Amino acid sequence: MADVLPLVEARLLTALGEPDARAAVTFLGTDRVEVLRFRKEDGIVRYATLGMSASPMTDPTGMLADPLKGPRAELLLSVRGGLADTDKVLRPLAVLAASPQVEGVVVAPGASLDVGEPLWPGAPFTSVLVAEPGGLVEDLELDAPLDPVHFLPLLPMTPNEAAWKRVHGAQALQERWLTNGTDLRDPARRSVPLD
């Protein structure tokens, strides 16, 4: 069985270019998670996790974890550079990437993930909405019986947006953002109008 992570890293490099920085975080009882930073000429900074997909995510109610089958994913966050100290998002991103191992969470589109503190110093966001994969980085197909690796974009949410999403759902929040022309890459944006 081939190691998944070199294939995942190759897919990230093909889609995003060479990272200009990388950091590794290891939590007690978990595998190492790296966060790679990619700076683009258009001023966008992208952060991608590397390590979350090493093992499949398993249903926490399941009796036995299958070491091969199950969804695999890595996380992607895109922000406008130079407007905030977003490099401090490395540890929160690693925490989110480790959550399947630590908490038995299956991270999937439509889910909310909360870190309980600002994503970076002064950030108005403490949580993210997991968006649909396939846009920025294509899914990575693996040999059977392994499931493909999905690259899941993360959309930062203010506490008000997160609360509104719990009531109305992810689709309604995304429609609200679209209707209001919300710049989801703005690291200092305000909450979308929710009345």
What's the predicted TM-score (pTM) here?
Answer: 0.92
Distance in angstroms (rounded) separating the CA atoms of residues 36 and 14: 13
User: Could you read off the pLDDT tens digit of each residue along the chain, which spans 195 residues?
Assistant: 458 999 999 999 999 999 999 998 887 777 789 999 999 888 999 999 999 998 888 866 665 666 678 899 999 999 999 888 999 999 899 999 998 888 888 899 999 999 999 999 999 999 999 999 988 899 999 988 889 999 999 999 999 999 999 999 999 999 999 999 999 999 999 999 987
φ/ψ region of 62 (left if φ > 0, alpha if ψ in -120 to 50, else beta) reads beta
Distance in angstroms (rounded) separating the CA atoms of residues 192 and 31: 37
- Token match 């403490």: residue? 126
